Chains A and B, each alone.
Chain A
């Protein structure tokens, strides 16, 4: 049974006001001229003071991009993007990289305060704000602050903006950049390779357990500007790192493009946990505005017994096109994907994962919870494949969809390819609706309608929430309630 007629009426009233990160920071910005050309690519590279090899790498990507087409196979619809109308570089004036907090424009500092992101180490150390999380803050095209760098350096961990890493650790960047997501992987990844402006770089040396959570906070502020960040994380032999990523953007009537690339590399016995809480501006109830989130995320379990875990809570963006994947190359390696994708209003989500089993005795686990409300569409698209040499490969996939109201859609598109007779793949999928009876039962016990939905939904996503680092889980739970506000009447 669909949830009540009133649901539909109320959904019509969803207001963008519930997006509380929609404010704009007024600050003088420096932009590259509109549009994309070799000159713009050179401009960006020069701004970052990059070595010649990097400029060439970008130009090569740009030339290849010119020959490529946008992928159209996803179950999403959007008007054509005019790539000549976008700005590919925007930075707070006079900034090309992080400075000390005291030199940071107070407006930017205020922005992150409003977002609840601590940039002042002193306050964090005193426990005034969330402790034990090192933050790299990316504002439009540049990283504006990276905290706890000194602290981390003591452990040998390198955590810095990628633009800085290109200058300071070229040997590491050259070795690994583009080694998981090749330059020509797909249209958006190639575009990113040409114009990426900033993002985070992490290197954890052999045997080191990173002493704190690392996180990057992405903020799009400038109008008509694409954000193309690039993240590269390398966990050397026997090391461990947990990394969190958060995103918000101002409320605007036009769509904005966000095309990021994230590459993870885990060597022998290393483990990387990558968690995302994605809350880009989703557009208003009529589908006006919002972020186009076209992201390529891939992890390479390059070493034996390495582990990569993706956990994502996706509540924002007008369109999400994103498939964090694992290449299970090392024998005995393990890939995990835990996802909560919520769509409301007119949001469109096409998300899932790829688990590519290449090594022997590799295992993977996929738990996906899609929740669709309003007039949204929510698709899980996943691939599990076993190479003929991947003897003993095992996968377990569980995809559950929950519908709220009767104008939304949930779709599950699993692809299975097994070239090995010893591979064992299991796939479970369910689709359910929050029943009127469940709602009535909760309300009879005194819960308000929205409280009841939030409770039922939180129950539905519990398996995945448990995978998130503690503080993030609490945040995510709140975010889920906020995202579903107005989804019932």
Chain B
């Protein structure tokens, strides 16, 4: 599915990623854990194509397509979805309007027919119910005045609606209470499928009790320093990141 080779990235002369390698297979849920400042969020932005980041070396390939040569909207149409840590507010733009514009832009880019409004509403309402998002929210301006938990649920709703093949969850658990965490996790789990992969970025093992990963990667100083199965997350929870910090500094 996704293959990242020797990725070197800097922003304003600060090297953030230092030759990062990562492979995520079809249907795999890969968790990335690591201390603050290890480059986790940068990795998610670079995959999705945010400007400001200068890619000095390496490549990111999604099912044979070189993502680094594509604009963010082209990457989205190719199946990349990033659930933001801090979803943006778009004043005056109704949530339903935004969803329709986004979905139809992607469909158009893929040469698929646009979806009619009734069909779209049917799909949105179906997903919204599962995520316990009331229909009132869909009439409001996107994310404006939403609580942290509501914004995160809206991210998952968009993910479910857009049906991407590679989903990145950037600290989706931050700012969620236990109930919201459960709802969001269930939403994500419902989307797991053999032809959809996930990159779950988190500080804490807590989220991984709900979204159980196939692989866990430890990131430090812009590199993957250790990979393992889901038990690795428990080990990190018990011992902290201290070892990896030293290891990275030594390197």
Question: CB within 8 Å of B: which residues of A?
Answer: 4, 435-438, 440-449, 451, 455-456, 458-463
Q: Which residues of B contact A443 (CB under 8 A)?
A: 49, 71-73, 76
With beta carbons under 8 angstroms apart, the residue of A435, A444, A459 that contacts B72 is A444
> Which of B50, B51, B76, B91 lies in contact with A460, CB distance below 8 A?
B91
Identity of the chain B residue whose Cβ is nearest the Cβ of A448 in the assembled complex: B73
- Given the complex of chains A and B, what is the CA–CA distance between A440 and B241 in angstroms? 32
Query: Other CB < 8 Å A-B pairs besides A442-B102, A444-B73, A449-B73, 5 of them?
Result: A440-B50, A440-B51, A445-B106, A446-B77, A463-B92
Q: A interface, by DSSP: helix, strand, loop or mixed?
A: helix
- What are 14 A-B pairs at a CB distance below 8 A? A438-B90, A440-B72, A445-B76, A445-B102, A446-B105, A447-B73, A447-B105, A449-B71, A449-B73, A456-B93, A459-B91, A459-B92, A459-B93, A461-B92
**B residues in contact with A438, CB < 8 Å:** 88, 90
CA–CA, A463 and B106, complex, Å: 28
Contacts of A437 in B (CB 8 A): 88
Contacts of A461 in B (CB 8 A): 92
Contact A436 B90 (CB under 8 A): no
Question: Which B residues lie within 8 Å of A462 (CB)?
Answer: 92-93
Name the residue on B nearest A463 (C-beta). Answer: B92
Q: Which residues of A contact B98 (CB under 8 A)?
A: 445, 455
A436 to B90, CA, bound (A): 12
Interface footprint category on B:
20 to 34
A449–B87 CA distance with the chains assembled, in angstroms: 18
The list of the 5 closest CB pairs from A to B, nearest first, reads: A459-B92, A459-B93, A446-B106, A445-B102, A443-B72
* CB–CB A446/B90 < 8 A: no
Near A by CB (< 8 A), chain B positions 56-103 give 71-73, 75-77, 80-82, 84, 87-88, 90-93, 97-98, 101-103
In the bound complex, CA of A465 to CA of B73 (Å): 28
Closest approach, in angstroms, between the C-beta of B170 and any C-beta of chain A? 11
CB distance from A462 to the nearest CB of B (A): 4
Q: Does B109 contact A (CB under 8 A)?
A: yes
B84 adjacent to A446 (CB under 8 Å) = no
User: Is there contact, CB below 8 Å, between B51 and A448?
Assistant: no
Tell me if B48 counts as interface (CB < 8 A to partner A): yes
Given A451-B101, A455-B90, A460-B92, decide whether A445 and B158 contact each other with a Cβ distance below 8 A.
yes
A442: chain B residues within 8 A (beta carbon): 90, 102
Instruction: State the Cβ distance, B54 to closest chain A Cβ, in Å.
Output: 13
Most chain B Cβ neighbours within 10 Å, of A436, A440, A462, A463: A440
Q: Does B141 contact A (CB under 8 A)?
A: yes
Residue B30 is within 8 A (CB to CB) of chain A in the complex: no
